[in-house]
Amino acid sequence: MQESILDPRSEPDNNRLAGFLPRKPNKWHYTSGALALLVAVPLLVVFSGWLKPETEIWSHLADTILDQLVINTIKLVVGVGIGVVILGVSLAWLTARCEFPGRKWFDWLLMLPMAMPAYVLAFVAIGLLDFSGPVQTALRTWAGTSNIWFPEIRSTGGLITVMVIAFYPYVYMMARTAFITQGRSTLEAARMLGAGSYGVFWRIALPMARPAIAAGTTLALMETLADFGTVATFNYDTFTTAIYQAWFGFFSLQAASQLASILLLLVFVSLMLEKSSRSKSKYHDSMRSGEPPRLHLSGWRGWTVSGLLALLFLIAFLAPFIQLCLWSIEVITTDFDERYLGLLGHTLLLGALAATVTVIAGMVLGFARRFQPDRTTLVTTSLATLGYALPGSVLAVGIMVAASGFDNGINNLFESIGLDMPGQILGGSLLALVLAYVIRFMAVAFGPIETVLSRIRPSLPEAARSLGATSSQTLKAIYLPLLRPGLMTGLLLVMVDTMKEMPATLLMRPFGWDTLAVRIYEMTSEGEWERAALPAITLVFAGLIPVVLLTRRSLKRLK
């Protein structure tokens, strides 16, 4: 595999005709195809729901709630999409390209909301801001009347706000990496040609960061579509609500699968459209030509920016963090025991394991798309990243069914040749759980890696090869260092996402492998939000470990 990784003959610029000439499938087709197959198996299980028609449920949904669910879902996707782009990109531009008081701190502080699961943010927000919450209660006491106006938190606007706060880090982190690594020479050339600092942003930096922004937004929107915990806390009905109602209410996993497969198809089509809309563009950049000068926001402007960012950090992280701490203190004496060490250990171990494997797989996919940029690879790589768009429980069951099918096949085989049946092999094993994470989070690793990869100018590895470097030398000396920001972002995102992951962890964990997310589920599913605060806060701290480790490191290297 390594041979072909760095073979300049397969570099995109050397075979522009690749998409037009009939060619035999090569190694890249096979590797990306294999990864796509891994993801495709549970997806096929989901699609197999169509084998059994569920017309009764469909006609009921169509008659009653379906149109409202679709409208709700569209509102949510549009709102969250606009929100994360505006917030994520402007924050990234400010911390990566400007200078203002406290910039170095905000640079990584603004990533922290990532460590806070969206459903946790949701229940804290509702707990604080609903009619019976402390804020409105205090206002009523102060005003001396129960007739005060206060924005309704349990509303479309409230939900969009919470989701934007929870999901903007995806866009922020990817756009930030893009802005930081944009080379000095390109930006300076623009300045010399007469562009002002706003012109540079709108006409050069922003278009060049488009793949990164698109990748971050894609992740945020896929997560929005697949989300159940946050919308359920708000009692806001989306398409996912229908999926779960079909399953848990009507007891029809088939109807749930059918609904989920429609969701998947939509995501797949939009992924393909987005990718092919910019497939002709090139985003190569010199990358290492030094950091361009920052725009100094001096005086009141700098302080205004710091003030706004501080306010954002307060709302997005500090306030919920403090609330969780307060709740935790109430229960720490009764709930905190020696088992927390095990929970923490499992959480970190699973996170690290899943992140490593997923990032390696994501890198392979990235190389496949770089070296073999034809339609087949586009389809296989898009397919391989679809796991993120599916509601967690549906995907988890798909994987479970696939794993059990494998086990049952082996057992039947053993039985037919007269051997003792081995029982479960894949089902309930650590391997199956890690595979489940890989399938679910492939998109999260692939996004940042692909965006960085797309900006490496092909002449660089070509030069290395022509100077006689072997492919593994080129990998080590050229690709890995240049890819580092993307790999780091991917590792961080997948690790934190894995640690927060609930449905697959619940269903597929080996006996005894409880994690912090499992504990949060145990408490929240019966409405014991305060008791859930203790594992939630521990999870936030666990999430901080990779955030701090990796960002400090990548910051240092980039300075």
Partner 1 sequence: MKKYLLSLFALVIAFPAYAADTITVYSARKEHLIKPLFDAYTEKTGVKIQYITDKAGPLLARIKAEGRNTPADLFMTVDAGNLWQAAEKGVLAVTDSKILETNIPVHLRDPENRWFGLSVRARTIVYSTERIKDGELTTYEDLADAKWKGRLCLRTSKKVYNQSLVAMLIARHGEERTEQLVKGWVTNLATAPFSNDTKTMEAIAAGQCDVGIVNTYYFGRLKKKKPEIKLALFWPNQDSTGVHVNVSGAGVTKHAKNRDAATKLLEWLSSPEAQGKFASLNMEYPVNPAVEADDVVKAWGEFKSDDLNVSSAGAMQTTAIKLMDRAGYR
* Contact residues for partner 1, defined by CB under 8 A: 60, 64-65, 126, 130-132, 136-137, 146, 154, 232-235, 237, 241, 244-245, 247-251, 253, 393, 396-397, 400-401, 404-405, 407-408, 411, 421-431, 503, 506-507, 509-512, 514, 518, 521-523, 525-530
CB of 370 to partner 1, least distance (A): 26
The tokens of 242 are what? 């229908």
For partner 1, the closer of residues 30 and 131 by Cβ is 131
For partner 1, the closer of residues 13 and 415 by Cβ is 415
Element housing 295 (H / E): strand 295-296
For partner 1, the closer of residues 200 and 400 by Cβ is 400
For partner 1, the closer of residues 185 and 411 by Cβ is 411
CB of 306 to partner 1, least distance (A): 37
The residues that bridge with 456 in the sheet, in sequence order, are 285
Taking the C-alpha atoms of residue 420 and residue 228, their distance in angstroms, rounded to an integer, is 42
CB of 59 to partner 1, least distance (A): 10
Taking the C-alpha atoms of residue 221 and residue 389, their distance in angstroms, rounded to an integer, is 8
CB of 311 to partner 1, least distance (A): 27
For partner 1, the closer of residues 143 and 269 by Cβ is 143
Taking the C-alpha atoms of residue 391 and residue 396, their distance in angstroms, rounded to an integer, is 9
For partner 1, the closer of residues 434 and 449 by Cβ is 434
CA distances from 332 to 51, 257, 277 (A): 50, 41, 53
Taking the C-alpha atoms of residue 379 and residue 376, their distance in angstroms, rounded to an integer, is 5
CB of 156 to partner 1, least distance (A): 11
CA distances from 166 to 112, 214, 228, 501 (A): 10, 17, 14, 14
CB of 168 to partner 1, least distance (A): 24
For partner 1, the closer of residues 97 and 509 by Cβ is 509
Q: DSSP string of 94-163?
A: HHHHEE-TTHHHHHHHTTGGGGS-HHHHHHHHHHHHSTTSHHHHHHHHHHTSS------SSSHHHHHHHH
User: Residue 148's CB: how many other CB atoms inside 10 A?
Assistant: 11
Indicate the Cα dihedral angle 133, 134, 136, 140, nearest 10°: 130
CB of 450 to partner 1, least distance (A): 28
CB of 209 to partner 1, least distance (A): 38
Element housing 296 (H / E): strand 295-296
Please write down the long-range contacts of 424-432, taking CB distance under 8 Å and 24 or more positions apart: 427/400, 427/403, 428/508, 428/510, 428/511, 429/510, 430/510, 430/513, 432/399, 432/403, 432/508
User: Residue 387's CB: how many other CB atoms inside 10 A?
Assistant: 29
CB of 441 to partner 1, least distance (A): 19
For partner 1, the closer of residues 45 and 92 by Cβ is 45
For partner 1, the closer of residues 357 and 460 by Cβ is 357
Taking the C-alpha atoms of residue 422 and residue 229, their distance in angstroms, rounded to an integer, is 37
CB of 259 to partner 1, least distance (A): 14
For partner 1, the closer of residues 245 and 554 by Cβ is 245
User: What residues have CB less than 8 Å from 405, skipping those under 6 apart?
Assistant: none
Helices 339-371, 430-453: inter-axial angle, 10-degree rounding: 50
